[in-house]
Amino acid sequence: MDFSALSKRLTISSLVALLALALLGNRPAIAQQHPDTAKMPWMNKALDPDQRADMVLRQMTLDEKIQLVHGTGWGVLRKGDPVPARSNLGAGFVPGIDRLHIPDINMADSAVGIRMAALQSRYATLLPSTLGAASSWDRDAAFLYGSVIGREARAQGFNMSIGGGVDITREPRNGRNFEYAGEDPVLAGTMVGELERGLKSERVMSDIKHYALNDQETGRTVVNVLLDKRSMRESDLLAFQIAIGIAKPSAVMCSYNLVDGDHACENDYLLNQVLKKDFNFKGWVVSDWSATHSTVKAALNGLDQEMPGDDNYFNAPLKKAVEDGRVPMTRLDDMVHRILRSMFDAGVVDDPPVRSVVDPFRGRDDAQHIEEESIVLLKNSGNILPLKSSPATTIALIGSHADVGVISGGGSAQVDAPGGNAINPHPGPSKWGETIYFPSSPLRYIRKKSPQSNVQYIDGKDHAAAARLAKDSSLAIVFVNQPMSEGRDAPTLSLPDHQDALVEAVAAANPNTIVVLETGGPVSMPWAQKVKGIVEMWYPGIGGAQALANVLFGDVNPSGKLPVSFAKSDADLPYPTVPGLSTSSKTTGDDQHHEVKPFDLKYKAGAAVGYKWFESTGKQPLFPFGFGLSYTTFDYSGLKINDAARTAQFTVKNTGPREGTEIAELYVALPSAAKENYKRLVAWERVKLAPGESKTVTLTMDPLYLSIFDTSKDGWQLLPGDYKVMAGPSSESTPLHAVLHIQQ
Ligand code: BGC
């Protein structure tokens, strides 16, 4: 017997078996080896993260430093690519330094829950979209949102989450708006900051992305964004500044696009001058996947880590650049220091994740709670809502697979649905580009709420059949959706798949029609006048159907308000079509950015994004930013300003029949010297009120939110003068006015 041939065969077959196991997920656990830590002074928890990082750094060889500043490749993300033995099968993997007790970095995509859990037969909670959660304007809900992700990341063995999107909604058709927190920098920055703070509270490294001005998917790798510095700082970058200030994230992910001629991941202004100097960001800059374009330029201009790491900039070429002095060793040390200090700071060295079973029930309850605060009631003519359960009622439920589930967002934010896609179950993880429905059935929970009523479902493909069912019912609820994903923008604000015509047909057949929207972002509603009720539930997460049923039947009084303006039509947006889309051969399907030639995009709106655009151009939105109804009513009175303390005080009263929560909003228009023709959101509070109850709200106006960015001084300036302060229920309704005086 030829033993050498047998052993060769065994080696090859065992390798194949290992690879197969690796791909299937049932891999033998390969643990990282840790030596005795007693002799490692940096394991002293009493020291601060920077001291600990420096102690480790002093022990590291050049190769070890280089090892930390890039990943090991696409791994599970790209079919056929090698998967490192110790990778936890997430989006990114960076091997640690065993001899120094520095753990591997296992990164999980996790914008709305942990991605790719099914790969290892794991479970992850699908939260409502980030945009949905931003509609709650509730800092605690945002914190909870992040802590669910952190908790489940740890349980699945990840020590880093790469969610945290805070690009503002400049392009309402952007395929990734559902991953972000809306159009206002103060609201978005605050909500995402709280979210990432919640995540870090679970001792997982956090991330904020995509830095910066990555506002559309069309041409995302080739678009060169042009925007003057003042506008940039007062809008898009302000959202990052606020989020970073609150969350102190471990990392910031630089984006695919170019800004003013330089790619974001090698942009000195964005990375060195603004992020690291002005924002005092202490963590590390990680590139988006394959968004690194150079070695020396990127290293000198502020990039600290290349991901996923097979593009060959931050491995051997960086080592060489350091050796021959083109990149100083001090700069490499700074990169490594930033990574190490963030590990100590988040607690992943002292308290590494321990795998455990995710609690799906706790996750679902949390997701439902957040969704109940996220749902926005946009129209309620004749108080058609809340519904009452009665034997005489017949309800027609129409469309959007509302019999089996709720829609979710795609791309790297896709969470795997338990049991597979509810409308087309198939084994294995979700496929890129497929619209995934989660098993949270509106039909089931609406039936549960109204056991005596006759509730029928029809898919809505045949508009005439849907109209017939609606006609024979006392009430029709039409579900409409807008599937959105990374890699493609919506070609228009109109709902796809003839859903506008479906609503028109149903509304013509039954005057008691309610529309429930499951959209990634704002959509147009040409039928808005013809229906009695409109409910925006966004991508509602795994507790979506229960949350919706609770709102429809009044067990939960809706309190959400829009974090984005809804335009009447594309014609009212700064760009009537998504810039670059016309040069693309595809409008849906695969990634559009592969299809588009490089182009400049000068942001026409400047800092006037969203409601500021509508106000400054005198256009009327369909539904304004900050708008949302309740089953009760509120009254605002008595606005008083304290100039010295920069506070605004006013009273909110519940004038209706039931308990409710009002989001009271405070806006300020700057003195004329600021040359702004719009107001800014500066503060808000969620006020819970019993019927007849009044509360005094005191809101502080942060000087940063009142300032302009003075490019001649390269700094913020609080102008002296009279500031018009406005309080009320939305950006379009501010019944209370007063003046804040700021002295020289
Ligand atoms: C996305 C990032 C994501 C990364 C890893 C990129 O395509 O833009 O948001 O974290 O892939 O999956």
Question: Which ligand 1 atom lies nearest to the CA of residue 77?
Answer: 12
CA of 308 to the centre of ligand 1 (A): 10
The closest residue, in CA terms, to atom 4 on ligand 1 is 289
The closest residue, in CA terms, to atom 8 on ligand 1 is 288
Question: Which ligand 1 atom lies nearest to the CA of residue 162?
Answer: 10
Reply yes or no on whether the pLDDT at 494 is more than 50.
Answer: yes
CA of 288 to the centre of ligand 1 (A): 6
How many C-beta atoms lie closer than 10 Å to residue 735's C-beta? 13
CA of 142 to the centre of ligand 1 (A): 22
Mutate to test the pocket of ligand 1, among 72, 74, 109, 211 (most ligand atoms within 8 A of CB): 109
CA of 488 to the centre of ligand 1 (A): 14
pLDDT band at 744 (very low <50, low <70, confident <90, very high): confident
Mutate to test the pocket of ligand 1, among 263, 286, 486 (most ligand atoms within 8 A of CB): 486
pLDDT band at 36 (very low <50, low <70, confident <90, very high): confident
Question: Of the candidates 472, 510, 504, 509, which has an alpha carbon nearest to the alpha carbon of residue 394?
Answer: 472
CA of 174 to the centre of ligand 1 (A): 15
CA of 412 to the centre of ligand 1 (A): 6
What is the tens place of the pLDDT at every residue in 160-184?
A: 999 999 999 999 999 999 999 999 9
Reply yes or no on whether the pLDDT at 546 is more than 50.
Answer: yes
The closest residue, in CA terms, to atom 2 on ligand 1 is 288
CA of 166 to the centre of ligand 1 (A): 14
CB 411 within 8 A of CB 178: no
Q: How far apart are CA 111 and CA 550, in angstroms?
A: 26
Query: What DSSP assignment string belongs to 554-617?
Result: TSS------SS-B-SSGGGSSSSS-TTGGG-S-SSSS-GGGT---EEEE-TTTT--THHHHHHH
At residue 24, the pLDDT reads 40
CA of 58 to the centre of ligand 1 (A): 33
Burial class of 721 by CB neighbour count within 10 A (0 to 12, 13 to 18, 19+): middle
Three-class secondary structure assignment of 600-621: EEECCCCCCCCHHHHHHHCCCC
Mutate to test the pocket of ligand 1, among 412, 488, 591 (most ligand atoms within 8 A of CB): 412
Reply yes or no on whether the pLDDT at 364 is more than 90.
Answer: yes
CA of 478 to the centre of ligand 1 (A): 34
CA of 307 to the centre of ligand 1 (A): 10
pLDDT band at 425 (very low <50, low <70, confident <90, very high): confident
The residue type at 217: E
What is the tens place of the pLDDT at every residue in 480-491?
A: 999 999 999 999
Reply yes or no on whether the pLDDT at 45 is more than 80.
Answer: yes
Reply yes or no on whether the pLDDT at 15 is more than 60.
Answer: no
CA of 121 to the centre of ligand 1 (A): 22
CA of 131 to the centre of ligand 1 (A): 18
Buried-exposed string 343-357: b where 16+ CB fall within 10 A, e elsewhere? bbbbbbbeebbeeee
Task: Please compute the mean of the pLDDT values over residues 701-707 and round it to a whole number.
Answer: 98
CA of 523 to the centre of ligand 1 (A): 25
CB 64 within 8 A of CB 38: no
At residue 311, the pLDDT reads 81
Question: Which ligand 1 atom lies nearest to the CA of residue 209?
Answer: 9
pLDDT band at 3 (very low <50, low <70, confident <90, very high): very low
Indicate the SS3 state at residue 394: strand
Question: Which ligand 1 atom lies nearest to the CA of residue 165?
Answer: 9
Question: Which ligand 1 atom lies nearest to the CA of residue 115?
Answer: 12
Indicate the SS3 state at residue 471: helix
CA of 196 to the centre of ligand 1 (A): 17
What is the tens place of the pLDDT at every residue in 51-83?
A: 999 999 999 999 999 999 999 999 999 999 999
Q: How far apart are CA 128 and CA 126, in angstroms?
A: 7
Ligand 1, CB within 6 Å, residue ranges: 91, 109, 162, 209, 288-289, 412
Question: Which ligand 1 atom lies nearest to the CA of residue 92?
Answer: 5
At residue 313, the pLDDT reads 98
The closest residue, in CA terms, to atom 9 on ligand 1 is 412
Question: Which ligand 1 atom lies nearest to the CA of residue 413?
Answer: 9
CA of 495 to the centre of ligand 1 (A): 26
CA of 126 to the centre of ligand 1 (A): 18
Mutate to test the pocket of ligand 1, among 93, 216, 289, 415 (most ligand atoms within 8 A of CB): 289
Q: How far apart are CA 271 and CA 274, in angstroms?
A: 6
Among the listed ranges 432-436, 524-528, 534-538, 548-552, which one has the minimum average pLDDT value? Answer: 432-436
Question: Which ligand 1 atom lies nearest to the CA of residue 179?
Answer: 9
At residue 178, the pLDDT reads 98
Indicate the SS3 state at residue 182: coil
Indicate the SS3 state at residue 739: strand
What is the tens place of the pLDDT at every residue in 259-278?
A: 999 999 999 999 999 999 99
Structure tokens at 624: 């304004």
Structure tokens at 105: 């970095």
The closest residue, in CA terms, to atom 6 on ligand 1 is 289
The closest residue, in CA terms, to atom 3 on ligand 1 is 412
Query: Which residues neighbour 468 within 8 Å (Cβ) at sequence distance 6 or greater?
Result: 509
At residue 595, the pLDDT reads 58
What is the tens place of the pLDDT at every residue in 639-685?
A: 999 999 999 999 999 999 999 999 999 999 999 999 999 999 999 99
Q: How far apart are CA 669 and CA 682, in angstroms?
A: 10
pLDDT band at 25 (very low <50, low <70, confident <90, very high): very low
Indicate the SS3 state at residue 207: strand
CA of 291 to the centre of ligand 1 (A): 10
pLDDT band at 13 (very low <50, low <70, confident <90, very high): very low
Query: What DSSP assignment string belongs to 620-671?
Result: PPSB-TT--B-SS-EEEEEEEEETTTTEEEEEEEE-SSS-EEEEEEEEEE--
Question: Of the candidates 103, 102, 101, 83, which has an alpha carbon nearest to the alpha carbon of residue 92?
Answer: 83
CA of 91 to the centre of ligand 1 (A): 8
CB 589 within 8 A of CB 433: yes
Task: Please provide residue 535's backbone torsions phi and psi, each rounded to the nearest 5 degrees.
Answer: -125, 120
Q: What is the mean pLDDT of the chain?
A: 94
What is the tens place of the pLDDT at every residue in 568-619?
A: 999 999 999 999 987 544 443 345 445 578 999 999 999 999 999 999 999 9
Question: Which ligand 1 atom lies nearest to the CA of residue 214?
Answer: 8
Mutate to test the pocket of ligand 1, among 177, 223, 288 (most ligand atoms within 8 A of CB): 288
What is the tens place of the pLDDT at every residue in 82-104?
A: 999 999 999 999 999 999 999 99
- State what percent of residues in the chain have pLDDT above 90: 89
CA of 107 to the centre of ligand 1 (A): 11
What is the tens place of the pLDDT at every residue in 317-360?
A: 999 999 999 999 999 999 999 999 999 999 999 999 999 999 99
- State what percent of residues in the chain have pLDDT above 70: 94
Euclidean distance between the first and final Cα of the chain, in Å?
95
The closest residue, in CA terms, to atom 7 on ligand 1 is 289
pLDDT band at 404 (very low <50, low <70, confident <90, very high): very high
The closest residue, in CA terms, to atom 11 on ligand 1 is 289
